[in-house]
A and B are shown apart, each in its own frame.
Chain A
Amino acid sequence: MYIYLPIAEQPIHALVVLGIGWLIGVIMGMVGIGGGFLLTPLMIFFGIPSPVAVASVANQIVAPSVSGVLSHWKSGNVDIKMGIILLLGGVLGSSIGVLIFNVLNNIGQLDLVIKFSYFLFLSAIGTLMFIESLRLIIRVRKGKVTRGKLHQHNWLHGLPFKTRFRKSKLYISVLLPLLIGVIVGILAALMGIGGGFIIVPAMIYLLGMPTSLVVGTSLFQIIFVASNTTILQASQNQTVDIVLAFLLLLGSVIGVQFGSRFSNLMKGEHLRFFLSIIILLVGFKLFSDLITIPKDIFSIIVLK
């Protein structure tokens, strides 16, 4: 069944989009990080113009994040104070990001920047995840499971404006989560991601937050960053395809539920190992598209 996308101005197979949304939702539910960074390149492979893919995926991320936060909220796994500081930075960052998006769109290099930053992030995250999960698999095989320190102290803990985060049992500078928020916000606007795959490791390794609070708190701030990005993209670039976003989010909110149930069937490190391979493959495909000679070095855009 084909559905005509009013903003992307092309028909797309509705069941295929629902299925992709579902699959991304399953991954979210199993691994705990948002699927935006896989979804946007997938949409681009399906022929959705990059600006529309980025903006619509930002829109879809809101739904599974709301759904996820509500469950984490019930279990008391959200550090509101930390979340609010992260999201202040995030809103600022996503506004800067949309401005950069605009400039790049006007000079005609938006597509390149989106694809290139995807390649960089996917290969970095993919490699890290690959090494980490492989190590853990080997360690578990050998029967040695050691617990690391709660968190390490480094120069980042010497920054001014220190404040106490009771829930996370931290006494750190406000600037740190604020800066992380800004960076994630910029990336969210440019790449159509919630930033979970950046913010989760940043919260664990840079802030030293307890792992139990990390996913809920990151989802909490992603809701606001993704909403801000969606509204800004819609009002400035008119690139949010609500029909595409609707199909994707419908699939993903269902998928998340399946994913969180499936996650008991498989070990976390095995799951992350498979995911890291998928991520590396997507990154490699994007990269090979950038370096191989195009079929036609000329291309056209029919203007309005």
Chain B
Amino acid sequence: MVIANENIVADLSENNVEISTTFSGAKILLFGAYDGKKDDDIIVIVSGPKGQVKVEKKSKKYGIWMISDSIIFNNVPKYYYIASNRKIINITNKKEIIKKGFDLNTLKLGNTEKKISLPEREIWRKALTRNMISQKFWKLDESSILLNKNTLFRKTLSLPSNVSTGLFNVIIMHYRKGLLISREESSIKISKSGISASIYNIAQEYSALYGIIAVVLAVFIGWFANMIFRRI
């Protein structure tokens, strides 16, 4: 395969992920080719839809740990994943790392609902990052992309089972001596499907009806069980 103009080409094994009744996370293969030289690097970012994230702080009152304060951050990516073929700090400089969003601690987020001072924001921000990582919403996955003969790359993206729905952007970047020389974008659409989606929609839109159905179903099964077991 010959690729001219140092262009990178990439594709995903799937562009649509459906959250159905049997969904427990998804694996998507990202693969492609680049016109590389020795010691070139590949960095991939997958970022999900943005939204509000509430950070809650607990403190001890009357001997019990209870929520004492909370801050809502706007424009937080609900999913953010960074992958590379080696330590990003060895690929490019600090400035580029922050600018391109290769560091989870310095990702650009929106302002907070409640006005807070900068040092205070830093504390809440750190708590947010730590928790987004521990709940698998955000992930830094360095040295995980496989490169082959400076031409081919491949990486399996694992979407966790708690993934949110929406459009996920996939950006693939080719670095040479710390400089970006080529990039390619793709996207994955994640949506609820089948019974799972219908149930969710009915629960949201026809919530009273949904409650009645839930009760009728329970009454019916209770009656039915009584009928069957009376005969045994």
Contact = CB atoms under 8 A, between A and B. Distances in A.
Contact of B223 (A4, A70, A108, A297): A70
A64 B222 contact: yes
B89 interface: no
Interface string B145-186: 000000000000000011010000000000000000000000
A7 interface: yes
B215 A231 contact: yes
Interface residues of A, number: 59
Interface string A253-279: 110110000000000000000000000
Given A4-B23, A234-B203, A300-B135, A63 B54 contact: no
Interface in A218-244: 223, 227, 230-236, 238, 240, 242-243
A257 B196 contact: no
Contacts of B21: 3-4, 243
B64 A291 contact: yes
Contact of A235 (B67, B135, B211): B211
A3 B22 contact: yes
A40 interface: no
B86 interface: no
Interface residues of B, number: 64
A292 B58 CA distance: 12
B217 A246 contact: yes
A301 interface: yes
Interface string B195-232: 11101100110011011111101110111011001101
B78 interface: yes
A62 B223 CA distance: 10
B20 A66 contact: no
Given A63-B222, A70-B226, A300 B214 contact: no
A54 B211 CA distance: 14
- Interface centre among B19, B124, B131, B225, by most A CB within 10 Å? B225
Contact of A253 (B67, B72, B225): B225
A250 B54 contact: no
B98 interface: no
B29 interface: no
B51 interface: yes
B87 interface: no
Nearest to B59: A297
A254 B225 contact: yes
A157 B54 CA distance: 52
| Nearest 7 Cβ contacts at the A-B interface | A234-B211, A66-B222, A298-B127, A231-B211, A62-B218, A253-B225, A63-B222
25 contacts: A2-B24, A3-B22, A4-B161, A6-B195, A6-B203, A7-B199, A59-B214, A62-B219, A66-B218, A70-B223, A111-B67, A232-B211, A234-B211, A240-B214, A249-B221, A253-B221, A291-B64, A292-B65, A293-B60, A294-B58, A297-B57, A298-B130, A299-B55, A300-B135, A302-B53
Interface of B: 19-25, 51-60, 63-67, 70, 72, 78, 124, 127-128, 130-132, 134-135, 137, 161-162, 164, 192, 195-197, 199-200, 203-204, 207-208, 210-215, 217-219, 221-223, 225-226, 229-230, 232
